[in-house]
Amino acid sequence: MRQVVLDTETTGLEVRDGHRIIEIGAVEMVHRRRTGRTFHKYLQPDRAVDAGAQAVHGITDAFLADKPRFADVVEDFLAFIRGAELVIHNAAFDVGFIDQELARLDGSHPPVTEICTVTDTLMLARRLHPGQRNSLDALCKRYEIDNSQRDLHGALLDSEILCDVYLALTGGQGALWSDSQEHDESGAGELRSAPRAVDPSRPPLRVITATTEEREAHETWLRRLDEAAGGACVWRRIEEKET
């Protein structure tokens, strides 16, 4: 499963007012693990950055003056996201801006949703935490994710932070392998050395069974996770196979 966690920064808030993308940041994950591949570009928008937007991300007109335009990077960008599941916080905002940029070109590029699926982590968070603040900063605080470097918004930094937030929202990192193990592209791992045998002289392990309350809490969590994942909770699938 290939996912691309994405964020943009713009000259202002409203697409309909002609605002443009000035930064795109994206981080690739395969089987819920970062691959190390990223996409990051600053863009010349051919218009001024609103003062309010600049206060959020700190990107100035002078800094953008010599940067490429969206048309210059579009093929590389589409090659990076094509066929992936895009994971975006408040996806309607970013997708709306990307679609506008694509529409400004020669008309040969379809909307984002025709080349990718899109998961909105803001919608996931609202289902899991109704009535609570679900901004990226609020979720970092809730899930104890370090965002201390986020003095200003930045597309690549926010994408990296959103990777951790998404994994927390959907049940944690999927791979159970340690850094000392090799992985193939399918996500399976092979031990580099033979597994160690358990010492037969050690005392027997104490088995502690879950209480009724713990089992009920576990069932509630699985139900919430299944709803957030759109019916794709792995533990539910395991239960179905066992029964």
Spell out the domain ranges in the chain.
Answer: 2-169, 211-243
Whether pTM exceeds 0.85: no
- 162 Cβ contact list (under 8 Å, min separation 6): 5, 7, 87, 88, 89, 121, 136
Name the residue with higher pLDDT: 10 or 189: 10
Q: What is the pLDDT of residue 152?
A: 73
Asked if residue 41 lies in contact with residue 73, where contact means CB atoms within 8 angstroms, the answer is yes
Q: At 154, list the tokens.
A: 């930045």
User: What integer pLDDT is reported at residue 172 of this predicted model?
Assistant: 60
pLDDT the model gives residue 232: 66
Lowest mean pLDDT among 10-19, 55-64, 181-190: 181-190
Which has the minimum average pLDDT: 23-27, 45-49, 81-85, 168-172? 168-172
Question: Bridge-partner residues for 8, per DSSP?
Answer: 24
Picking from 172, 168, 162, the residue whose alpha carbon sits closest to that of residue 25 is: 162
pLDDT at 180 over 50: no
Averaged pLDDT score across all residues of the chain:
85
| Domain 2-169 bears CATH identifier 3.40.50.720 | no
pLDDT digits (tens, 9 = 90+) for 138-152: 999 999 998 887 777
Confidence of residue 178 (pLDDT cuts 50, 70, 90): very low
Catalytic residue among 19, 57, 89, 153: 153
153 is a catalytic site residue? yes
Q: What percent of the chain has pLDDT over 90?
A: 64
pLDDT at 241: 58
80 CB contacts (<8 Å, ≥6 apart)?
4, 26, 28, 37, 39
For residue 89, the tally of other CB atoms under 10 A from its CB is 26
Best mean pLDDT range from 95-109, 160-174, 218-232: 95-109
